[in-house]
Amino acid sequence: AAYDEAVRMAPRLVELETPASRFLRHVGYNNRDAAETMSLYWTKRKEIYGPDRFYLPLQVHDDQSPSALSARAKALVLSNTTFCKLHSDRFQRPILLFDRKKYDIDPDDPHLKATGMQTVFYMLQALSEDPLAVSNGYLVVVNFEFLNADQASRAKPLASGFHPVFQMNCFPVTVKAAHIIVPNKKQQPKRIRLWALSVMLGVLKKWDYIAIR
């Protein structure tokens, strides 16, 4: 199993990035559920980062140290534009912002989907390390405002990597609400609005609360 391999290759990293107490707390201290979620986490982590890198640290700040993330994914995280972790709301739930209008990508890059998956996995890992997110869940804000047809087309390959990660359910955190900011009819063509809704509703259908603004 990927978990056993990770423990063998990097036991200290497993202890630091996926402590058992975090998963136990998330599932109400049900040992079986915690073990299954942690096992799934490492299986998906291996799928996303590959067999030669999945047991490396999920870090983006030190170029001299090894990282599971590709150079493309690290650059996207460090841009702090497309993805951003914001302060908690009044219910002490951290907020994760996706600003799709700020994508700065090459649409012909064949690695866009992999970059998207690595980036979202990293962001959810960061959320799982926040005790408030583990206890209270978190919110997602997705900004489609001013997303024109060209931007939407360029973003599609990258975005195709986001949705599968959200659906993995392998992190000890739960989305409690999603706020989707979509352009009105005067700002953008109707087809962009419908595309935004269809994509996001496919991902958010299991979430507690969805607000479309």
Kindly report, residue by residue over 91-103, the tens digit of the pLDDT. Answer: 999 988 887 665 5
pLDDT for the residue 75:
85
Neighbours of 119 (CB within 10 A): 25
How many whole angstroms separate alpha carbon 179 and alpha carbon 115? 24
Average pLDDT over residues 141-156: 67
More confident: 86 or 170: 170
Residue 61's contacts (CB-CB under 8 Å, 6 or more residues apart) are 78
Average pLDDT over residues 133-146: 82
Question: What's the chain's average pLDDT?
Answer: 80
pLDDT at 150 over 90: no
pLDDT for the residue 143:
76
- Residue 117 is given by DSSP the state H
What's the predicted TM-score (pTM) here? 0.80
Hey, what are 182's tokens? 């979509």
pLDDT for the residue 22:
95
pLDDT at 128 over 90: yes
Query: In which band, very low, low, confident or very high, does the pLDDT at 61 lie, cut at 50, 70 and 90?
Result: confident
Side chain identity at residue 149, one-letter code: A
